[in-house]
Amino acid sequence: MDKKNIGFIGLGVMGSPMAQNLVKHQYNVKGWNRTQIDRAAPLCDRTLVTQALENGVKIVSTIEDAVKDADFVCICVSDVPDVNEVIFGEDGIVHFAKPETIIIDFSTIGTQAVKEINDKLRSNGLHFMDAPVSGGDIGAQNGTLTIMVGGDDRDFQTSLPIFQAMGKNIVHCGSIGNGQAVKLCNQVLASIHMMAICEAMELAKTLNIDPDLMIKVCSTGAAGSWALTNLAPKVASSDFAPGFMIKHILKDLRLVTESLENQTLPATDLATQMFQSVAELGGATQGTQAMIRAYQK
């Protein structure tokens, strides 16, 4: 089989392990990250670029280098302006990708943005799919992500082996933007779950119950969830390392609010306030499990 070439843009918490999994599945991967040096600063994750290099991703210094020979371009950056910048900026993908290249965006940026990007890329002879993910850094490392894809069926079928190198549950949700729509529902669920975890932990403390006992018992019953199993132990040990940063969940909840039409989601609003108050305590780059800090002020 021909080894396909992939350009991977954005080697952060998610992008770096995802690119490494593509290498494990025999793809030639050229990776580009905006910040290219390792800095030893606390909470600076550029060591992830080094990790990608050590695991077979060829690190290049321009987007042009990453995409000019690519059959597929994967993007995993932060927010709407960032995706627009790496695609349409002065040195962006659109200027260097070969005609017919399939561009897959794994960032969470909402439905409206991906529809606009799709229109512009199609008029430039390029293909585009939205493919936001769930499963956290652990899912990215283990290649077990849930991937919610929006776009043409033909592009989806062509790209399926790439998705399978990074994820386990890969669902074509429909036309462009539908992956983002399902992902925003996921973020509402995840945010309110985090509030439920924090409140159960606080109650356990009040009732003199060991939090680890509560987590162990409740995980096996009707209240069990991915978050209870994977994030509640981090809450119990005050391990606030990301994971999924509070600044990113606030971005996702902003995208949820922007999607609403004359509607309010009261529990989502409350979760947003809790995350916001932790961000104001300096926790924007901590994992979402740091929401507990809002209860302990």
Distance CA 161, CA 183 (A): 21
150 lies in the site for ligand NAP, by CB under 6 A: no
Enter the tokens of residue 26.
Answer: 């025999």
Measuring CA to CA, how many Å separate 83 from each of 43, 87, 95, 117, 141?
Answer: 23, 6, 15, 9, 22
By the rule CB under 6 A, 111 interacts with ligand NAP? no
Shortest CB 60 distance to ligand NAP, Å: 14
Which positions from 168 through 227 interact with ligand NAP, judged by CB under 6 A? none
Confirm or reject binding of residue 29 to ligand NAP (CB under 6 A): no
Q: Does 231 bind ligand NAP (CB under 6 A)?
A: no
Stretch that binds ligand NAP, among 9-17, 161-169, 171-179, 218-226 (CB under 6 A): 9-17
Contact indicator for 151, 130 with CB cutoff of 8 Å? yes
Q: Where are the alpha helices (DSSP H) in the chain?
A: 15-24, 47-54, 63-67, 80-88, 111-122, 136-142, 153-166, 178-206, 211-219, 226-230, 232-236, 246-259, 266-278, 292-295
136 binds ligand NAP (CB under 6 A): yes
Contact stretch for ligand NAP (CB under 6 A) within 53-61, 243-251, 254-262, 273-281: 243-251
> Cβ of residue 204: shortest distance to ligand NAP, in angstroms?
25
Q: Which of 151, 243, 256, 286 binds ligand NAP (CB under 6 A)?
A: 243
Dihedral angle sign, alpha carbons of residues 274, 16, 106, 161: negative
Please tell me whether the peptide bond between 243 and the residue prior to it is cis, using omega within 30 degrees of 0: yes
CB of 67 to ligand NAP, least distance (A): 13
Q: Rounded to whole angstroms, how far apart are CA atoms 127 and 152? A: 9
Which of positions 76-105 make contact with ligand NAP (CB under 6 A)? 76-78, 82, 85-86
For ligand NAP, the binding residue among 71, 105, 137, 155 (CB under 6 A) is 137
Residues that bind ligand NAP (CB under 6 A): 10-15, 33-35, 45-46, 76-78, 82, 85-86, 107-108, 133-134, 136-137, 243-244, 248, 252
